[in-house]
Amino acid sequence: MSLPPKSFRAHVGISPSTVSLAARDSILVIIDAQNEYASGLLAVSQPNIAYSRPNILTLLQRYRAAHAPVAHVVHITPPGAPLFTPDTPLAEEFSELAPLERASPQSSGDFEAVVQKRFPGSFAETDLQDVITRAGPEVRKVVLVGYMAHVCVSTTAREAHQRGYDVVVVGDAIGDRDIPEVPGRSGTPGLGATGEEVTKMVILELADIFATVLKTEDVQ
């Protein structure tokens, strides 16, 4: 009987990470939680959006209560673009996640920052690195949530890993849309994978080498 496969991280002795808000060593990075993914052409499929969206809010509320740093990453596009169309609701972050100007901050890391990006990776030509540095030298753990799992979340996780951060992806606070079949691959045009299937594969890929994957309930 063959043994179950081990992850790359297990083979090289990387222990799973945990997140304790009391430790003040993490930043919550909310990636592209914008209306494009709720009601636009890139709408995240059900049941993905039904559980991931409220879980993102739960995590934001916990970070606020702990006076811990948060980065709201929003994707921007040129005027008239069909996706994340500027000056329309599609470009806006979910209303329940609107950034706060925190009154009487308790530490240098007690803030919420907005980071605008034009590429899949949240570090590419943005000030996210500066935001993390501002949060303090003790912040070496990035906690990622948002959309789409296979594009911006995955790319950001890999960027953060390359920068030496301890990367945590909250698996039930990310999501994806249904994606089409590749023409000619199966001979049957149409659905290639559901959003749930895409998200599961992203979680497996990231957990193998780039990140620890936790649930919302694990981040306290």
The residues assigned a catalytic role are 32, 117, 152
Residue 177: helix, strand or coil by DSSP?
coil
DSSP 103: S
To the nearest 10°, report the CA torsion of 43, 47, 53, 54: 160
Cα–Cα distance for residue pair 102/109, rounded to 1 Å: 11
Cα–Cα distance for residue pair 166/160, rounded to 1 Å: 8
| C-alpha distances in Å from residue 126, one per residue of 24, 89, 114 | 24, 23, 10
Give me 44's structure tokens: 């995240």
Cα–Cα distance for residue pair 197/177, rounded to 1 Å: 9
